[in-house]
Structure 1
Amino acid sequence: MGQKVRPTGFRIGIVEDWRSRWYAPKKEFGALLVEDFKIRKFIKEEYKQAAIEKVEIERTRDQVVVHMHSARPGIIIGRKGQEIDRLKGRLEDLTGRRMEVKIVEVTNPFRSAALVAEDIAQQLMKRGSFRRTLKRSLDQVMEAGVKGIKIQLSGRLGGAEMSRCEKVSRGSIPLSTLQRHVDYSLAVSKTAMGTIGVKVWIDLGNYGEEETGHGANAQTGEAPKRAKRSHKR
């Protein structure tokens, strides 16, 4: 049997930072974990067109800070910041806590596994040819200057009677090298023929050496801070 591990989960706590950063006593931990899930689910459903890569959550004693990494920050911010104020109010109604929303712009969506997977899923929902979609995605991602990419589709591809798995790859994907920044994401495409799973792995190079796909904070203009880490063997 294949021993498969999610690349991001494999690296969290070593070279990757946690997506939720807060501390809570044992009695409150479960409720806060469910609250984080509700916040992420609400944002993903309400802002499908905003190309959201990930949502990071930080908590203090009396405040929740939500960092939204998006390739289209203008959709979230809205005209004169009206949309982001509305989002903040709706999140406060959802959680009953004081919220702060920060937008981080993703300057190159083709260097993000989550955005590439979502794009492929949308193309399949529009009944596009899966082979053509795969080739186009491979070309676009490799042109963005990454080290390698692997895409896997599972389901009734092309309307076939029996579901199957199709894999394509280019370049290197060293999954066991912890110092290598391998971005991974899963998306689901609900087509007329059934559900198709889309998995994407992107090798961005070594940590600290890869070109970042994230720009300045869309609200403050400050570059996103990245913690320095060392991995001792």
Structure 2
Amino acid sequence: MGQKVHPVSYRLPVTFDWRGKWFAEKKEYINLLHEDLKVRDFVKAKLSQAAVPKIVIERAANRLRITVHTARPGIVIGRKGAEIDKLKEELHTMTGGKEIYVDIIEIKQPETDPQLISENVALQLERRISFRRAMKKAVQTALDMGAAGIKIRCAGRLGGGEIARTEWYRQGTVPLQTLRADIEYGFAEALCTYGKIGVKCWIYKGPKEKTEPRRVETPSAAPMNAEPAPAR
């Protein structure tokens, strides 16, 4: 049987970047990993009304830099920065007194963010809205906002049926096997009375521009084509 690779890990070196940027030895790695998961869950729950699709964590010594991508930065910051200061204090206590920095990045087009689309469709399913209606509306909105292609997939007891099934909609181009394609992925779960329904979304935004690797030249290094010094 065919196996499915995770869309994020498949594209990590090419179009995706790591959401945890730090290094640790074996003994400390698992503790920091669990701390990352705890921080992400806390921030996601705390900012549940702020439309947060992605949280990036960077570590250096005893410092944490948390970058929050949000469609509603005003809710995260609060009046005169009160909410973000409160968030820093709570994270400072949770991490055992580590120095916390929080950066906010605004998402310009939340209608084309696959994570926000998945969460929005899942929220509509929890409100007993028809899954076909929710999926079609999300597809049309993303295409109207400039997406080159979109695919949405719902799986579970759709409509309260006795047997779980899968249904999906796709419009435009979604080249899942092309690594240079700029494809983003999102996933959410709808907690319905008859069970969980999983929602997956893929958005294609066009080909990824190829970037040349940056070369770093050290002043002490001699050029490659330099002539050797004459023997004495």
Question: If the length of structure 2 is used for normalisation, what is the TM-score?
Answer: 0.88
Instruction: Name the counterpart of 1:14.
Output: 14
What percent of counterpart residues are identical?
A: 43
Give runs of aligned pairs for residues 1-233 of structure 1, distance below 5 A: 1-96=1-96, 97-208=98-209, 228=211
Whether the aligned pair in 1 keeps the contact of 2:113 and 2:203 (CA below 8 Å) is yes
Secondary structure of 2:179's counterpart equals coil
Q: Distance in 2 between matches of 1:62 and 1:186?
A: 32
**Cα deviation 1:112-155 (Å, max 9, x = unaligned):** 11000000000111110111111101100111111111111111
Q: Are 2:14 and 2:180, in contact at CA under 8 Å, matched by a contact in 1?
A: no
Question: Cα offset for 1:208?
Answer: 3.5
CA distance in 2 between counterparts of 1:13 and 1:25 reads 22
Q: Please report the TM-score for the alignment, with normalisation by the length of structure 1.
A: 0.87
Deviation at 1:85, TM superposition (A): 0.2
Q: Which moved more, 1:150-159 or 1:2-11?
A: 2-11
Q: Which has the higher contact order (CA 8 A, sep 6+)?
A: 1
CA gap 1:229/1:75 in 2 versus in 1, 3 angstroms = farther
SS in 2 for 1:18: coil
Greater C-alpha radius of gyration = 2
Output the amino acid matched with 2:103: K
Deviation at 1:229, TM superposition (A): 5.7
Counterpart CA distance in 2 for 1:104 and 1:34 is 24
- 1:49 partner SS: coil
CA distance in 2, matches of 1:28, 1:229: 35
Q: CA deviation at 1:176?
A: 1.4
- Residue 48 of structure 1 deviates from its aligned partner by 1.0
Q: The residue matched to 1:5 in structure 2 has which SS?
A: coil
Q: Which amino acid aligns with 1:140?
A: T
RMSD across aligned positions (CA): 1.3
The 8 Å contact of residues 190 and 196 in structure 1, kept in 2 or not, is answered as: yes
Distance in 2 (CA, whole Å) between partners of 1:198 and 1:176 is 21
Distance 2:89 2:209 in 1: 37
Q: Secondary structure at the match of 2:54?
A: strand
Alpha-carbon distance in 2 for matches of 1:108, 1:5: 27
1:156-186 CA deviation, whole Å, 9 max, x = no partner? 1112121111111011111111111111111
> What 5-or-longer segments of structure 1 have no aligned partner?
210-227
Report if aligned partners of 1:6, 1:184 keep a CA contact under 8 Å in 2. no
| One-letter amino acid of the counterpart of residue 198, structure 1 | V
